[in-house]
């Protein structure tokens, strides 16, 4: 999916990553979690990740089940049946991956803001150059502080809005490698 952290700002930091985890859930499959379901069906590797420009879902399975896998990924990505409980369970599991808010996060955040404020009072030569020629600054990514903070408060409605905005076929690519009939796969 052509969406990642590069589209995020301080208010939306972490939304693409949280949605990536939520995509792996569905109350209609036996285990409620696609990773477990795919592993139970013979997938030897299942993962998802969100980078700056893409969110990717990956699985490997015996080529005899490749058609089933593509259909299952289609269901996983396009036919969502999730609820607030799924979101809360994903939030809990994300604490393991991205961590939880610690006592020092807020202090470091305020210290960085102070340093940025001081830097604004005494701009560098490069900063004066940008200002003199009205050059655009490169988009800076939000800090980890915002991802951790926001992941606790995003609503299911916000995540589904993000989903609707970016999860559509022409904003995605599908890559299939293996021994399969190309026409049947299409």
Listed in sequence order, the residues at least 6 apart from 28 whose beta carbon sits closer than 8 Å to its beta carbon are 81
Q: How far apart are CA 184 and CA 186, in angstroms?
A: 5
Q: How far apart are CA 152 and CA 14, in angstroms?
A: 10
- CA pseudo-torsion sign 105, 153, 79, 65: positive
Listed in sequence order, the residues at least 6 apart from 156 whose beta carbon sits closer than 8 Å to its beta carbon are 82, 83, 84, 87
Per-residue pLDDT of the chain (186 residues; tens, 9 = 90+): 999 999 998 899 999 999 999 999 998 888 889 999 999 999 999 999 999 999 999 999 999 999 999 999 999 999 888 899 999 988 888 776 655 556 565 666 666 667 667 777 777 776 766 667 776 766 565 667 788 888 889 999 999 999 999 999 999 999 999 999 999 998
Alpha helices in 122-143 (DSSP H): 125-132
Q: How far apart are CA 33 and CA 27, in angstroms?
A: 8
Both structure tokens of 20: 């990536």
């Amino acid at each position: 999916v052509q969406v990642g952290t590069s589209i995020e700002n301080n208010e939306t930091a972490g939304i693409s990553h949280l949605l990536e985890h939520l995509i792996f859930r569905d109350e209609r499959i036996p285990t409620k979690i696609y990773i477990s379901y795919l592993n139970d069906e013979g997938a030897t590797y299942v993962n998802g990740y969100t980078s700056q420009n893409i969110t990717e879902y990956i699985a490997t399975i015996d080529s005899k089940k490749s058609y089933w896998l593509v259909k299952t990924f289609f269901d996983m990505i396009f036919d969502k049946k999730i609820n607030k409980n799924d979101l809360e369970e994903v939030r809990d599991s994300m604490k393991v991956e991205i961590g939880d808010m610690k006592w020092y996060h807020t202090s470091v955040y305020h210290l960085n803001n102070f340093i940025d404020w001081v830097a604004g009072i005494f701009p560098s030569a490069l900063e004066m150059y940008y200002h003199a020629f009205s050059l655009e600054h490169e988009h800076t990514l939000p800090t980890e502080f915002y991802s951790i903070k926001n992941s606790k408060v995003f609503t299911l409605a916000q995540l589904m809005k993000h989903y609707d905005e970016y999860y559509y076929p022409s904003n995605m690519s599908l890559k299939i490698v293996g021994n399969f009939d190309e026409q049947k796969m299409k």
